[in-house]
Amino acid sequence: MPQAAQVCTTPVLICAARYTRLNADGSLAPGPDNVIVSNSPILLGLNPDVVQGTENNVVGGCGCICVSFKAPDSFIRWNFDMEFCDLNPSLMELLTGGALVLDDSDVPVPIGASWPVQTSCNDATQPPFAVEAWAKGYIGNGQAPDPNSYVRFVFPLVYATMDAWAITNNVLTPKLKAWGQSNPNWPADGSIYDDYPAGAELDVQGGWFQDSSDHLPTPECAFQTASSA
């Protein structure tokens, strides 16, 4: 391809997110109904989990520090705060594992979900999933042109659980807590969807990259299906 120039953009707004159901080993779970694309997220908070490096300070006999040492801190993983502007039964089932409540249509339609309570060893544990989120890429007061018009954030293995909800005289925005880890079974080149920029690869921890509007998925209030390439 022709030589490109580096472009620096500022992420603005979370415009879409794609949630992919995974097997226990982090590989793509079989379909159907293994993907949700949503424009409902209003918060994907990223909180670093950092282990402080060992620190030793030795005070000499005169009361002064004679030796001071600190090992580097270690970034372990991201912890997440998730908040949504609608209550999507399919999304809640994929993220938390709460069983769907279905109507009696010829093809049953999700109308709710059970609470994903885990009170015994026999209860299902939190299901694994991957998260990809798209924010607009701005330069100054406008969105950058393609192929740098979005910034995509990739978290290849995430587990979520319930956070505080409030049913009041105001709007209920469902909230979840989550944490992530590395996933060697998430394709480095995004080949599940074949929609990474040409040449782009991520390591097992995930990461981010500038992206084109051509790769922005279409939100839908229903399950979608992905198959491994």
The arithmetic mean of pLDDT across residues 168-187, rounded, is: 96
* Sequence-ordered alpha helix ranges (H) in 1-64: none
User: How is residue 96 written in tokens?
Assistant: 């938390």
Say what percent of the chain tops pLDDT 90: 92
pLDDT number for residue 1: 72
pLDDT in tens, 74-95: 999 999 999 999 999 999 999 9
Check residue 63 and give left, alpha or beta (phi > 0: left; psi -120 to 50: alpha): left
Phi, psi for residue 91 in degrees, rounded to 5: -65, -45
pLDDT number for residue 228: 66
The arithmetic mean of pLDDT across residues 175-194, rounded, is: 96
Which pTM does this prediction carry?
Answer: 0.93
Question: Residue 229 pLDDT > 70, yes or no?
Answer: no
Q: How far apart are the first and last CA of the chain?
A: 24
Check residue 94 and give left, alpha or beta (phi > 0: left; psi -120 to 50: alpha): alpha
Question: Residue 210 pLDDT > 80, yes or no?
Answer: yes
Question: Residue 177 pLDDT > 90, yes or no?
Answer: yes
Check residue 25 and give left, alpha or beta (phi > 0: left; psi -120 to 50: alpha): alpha
pLDDT in tens, 24-68: 999 999 999 999 999 999 999 999 999 999 999 999 988 899 999
Q: How many Å is the maximal CA-CA distance in the chain?
A: 84
Residues in the chain: 229
CB distance 89 to 110 below 8 Å: yes
pLDDT number for residue 70: 94
